[in-house]
C-alpha cells in the first residue's frame, strides 16, 4: 500500500490507474478506523481494481461546540488497518492542503439536511459535500463507498452526485453491528459498562418498529411511539425518533415506498445514532 499526502502525486497516480483501464473504488474517512470502515474497504476491494482510502479530519464539517482538535487520531494504527483490509493507496492530506487560503466556492446543501442529525448541525453537510467534491474531482473514482449507519450522509452524497452529474456510483453498505445488534462506532468506547448493556435496546426498538410496518402498520406516529417507548427504558436521552421517505428525507403521512426509521440517543458521554431502511413495496411483493 502506498501512503501519500501530496495532492499532485494523488492526481498523477489516479490518472495513471485510469489510463491503464483500472477501476477505482474510493473510501473517504476521518480516520480512527473501526470494523465499519474496514468493511467498506473490503467491499471496494471486491468490486474494483484499485482501492483508494482517504483519512482526513475535515475542519469544514465541525460546527460551534464541536471540538475539531479533540477528534481522535491515530494515523499509524489506521494505516496498518487500511493495508490489512486491502487498500492500495492511502491519501492523508493536511487541512492546509485541502483548503488553501480563503475559499472562492463552497458547496451548500439545500435539501435532506433539515431533519435527523442535520437539524442540530448547521453547516455540517455543507462541509461534507465541499470536501467530497474536492476528493471526487481529484480521484475521479468509479465507485464511492459509504456506510448506511450514517444514512443521512449517504442521502446527501446521493444528491450531490445526482445534481452535479458526477459519473460515480454510490455504493451504500449495510451497518456493521456487534453480536448483540449495537451499531459499531468509535463512540461506543465512551459508554459506561451499564450503558453498554442498555445500548443494544436501540436496535431492538428499531426492529420492533420494522416489525409493526411488516405487519401492516402504516401510521408513522404509531411506529415512532412504539420505538420511543422501548428506548425510554434505557438511561439514554432521546434526541429524535423519526420516519421519512428515503433518500429524499421528506415527511410522509402514510408509510409506503422506501423509508428510513432513524433515531439518536444521548448517553452520558456518547451520542449514538442508528437506523433501519425499509422498502415497503418490496416487502409487499415478497
Tell me whether residue 180 is annotated as binding: no
CA atoms within 13 A on the CB side of 27: 28
Tell me whether residue 126 is annotated as binding: no
User: What number of residues does the chain have?
Assistant: 286
Tell me whether residue 176 is annotated as binding: yes
Tell me whether residue 18 is annotated as binding: no
Tell me whether residue 266 is annotated as binding: no
Residue pair 25/18 in contact (Cβ under 8 Å)? The answer is no
Tell me whether residue 84 is annotated as binding: no
| Residue 240: strand pairing partners | 264
CA 231 to chain centre: 23
Q: Residue 197 and residue 195: Cα distance in Å, rounded?
A: 5
Tell me whether residue 197 is annotated as binding: no
Place of cell 448517553: 267
Who's near 56: CB < 8 A, 6+ residues apart?
28, 29, 30, 31, 91, 92, 93, 98, 131
Tell me whether residue 61 is annotated as binding: yes
Tell me whether residue 34 is annotated as binding: yes
Tell me whether residue 153 is annotated as binding: yes
Q: Residue 103 and residue 260: Cα distance in Å, rounded?
A: 35
Residue pair 62/132 in contact (Cβ under 8 Å)? The answer is no
Q: Which of 14, 17, 24, 37 is catalytic?
A: 37
Concerning whether 124 is annotated as a catalytic residue, the answer is: no
Extract the annotated binding site.
30-37, 61, 147-150, 153, 176, 184-187
Catalytic residues: 37
Extract the annotated binding site for beta-alanine.
61
Extract the annotated binding site for (R)-pantoate.
61, 153
Extract the annotated binding site for ATP.
30-37, 147-150, 176, 184-187
Amino acid at each position: 500500500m502506498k501512503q501519500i499526502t501530496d495532492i499532485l502525486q494523488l492526481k498523477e497516480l489516479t490518472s495513471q490507474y485510469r489510463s491503464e483501464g483500472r477501476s477505482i473504488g474510493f473510501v473517504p474517512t476521518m480516520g480512527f478506523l473501526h470494523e465499519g470502515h474496514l468493511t467498506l474497504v473490503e467491499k471496494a476491494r471486491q468490486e474494483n481494481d484499485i482501492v483508494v482510502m482517504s483519512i482526513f479530519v475535515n475542519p469544514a464539517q465541525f460546527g460551534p461546540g464541536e471540538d475539531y482538535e479533540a477528534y481522535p487520531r491515530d494515523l499509524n494504527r489506521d494505516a496498518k488497518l487500511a493495508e490489512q483490509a486491502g487498500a492500495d493507496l492511502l491519501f492523508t492530506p493536511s487541512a492546509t492542503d485541502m483548503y488553501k487560503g480563503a475559499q472562492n466556492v463552497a458547496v451548500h446543501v439545500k435539501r435532506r439536511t433539515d431533519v435527523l442529525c442535520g437539524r442540530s448541525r448547521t453547516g455540517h453537510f455543507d462541509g461534507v459535500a465541499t470536501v467530497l467534491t474536492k476528493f471526487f474531482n481529484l480521484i475521479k473514482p468509479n465507485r464511492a463507498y459509504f456506510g448506511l449507519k450514517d444514512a443521512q450522509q449517504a442521502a446527501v452524497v446521493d444528491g450531490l452526485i445526482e445534481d452535479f452529474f458526477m459519473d460515480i456510483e454510490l455504493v451504500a453498505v449495510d451497518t456493521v453491528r456487534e453480536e448483540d445488534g449495537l451499531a459499531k462506532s468509535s463512540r461506543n468506547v465512551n459508554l459506561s459498562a451499564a450503558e453498554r448493556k442498555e445500548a443494544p435496546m436501540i436496535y431492538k426498538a428499531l426492529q420492533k418498529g420494522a416489525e409493526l410496518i411488516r405487519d401492516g402498520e402504516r401510521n408513522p406516529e404509531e411506529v415512532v411511539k412504539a420505538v420511543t417507548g422501548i428506548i425510554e427504558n434505557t438511561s439514554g436521552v432521546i434526541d429524535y425518533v423519526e420516519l421519512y421517505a428515503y433518500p429524499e428525507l421528506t415527511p410522509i403521512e402514510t408509510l409506503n415506498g422506501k423509508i428510513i426509521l432513524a433515531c439518536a440517543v444521548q448517553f452520558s458521554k456518547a451520542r449514538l445514532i442508528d437506523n433501519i431502511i425499509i422498502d415497503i413495496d418490496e416487502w409487499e411483493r415478497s
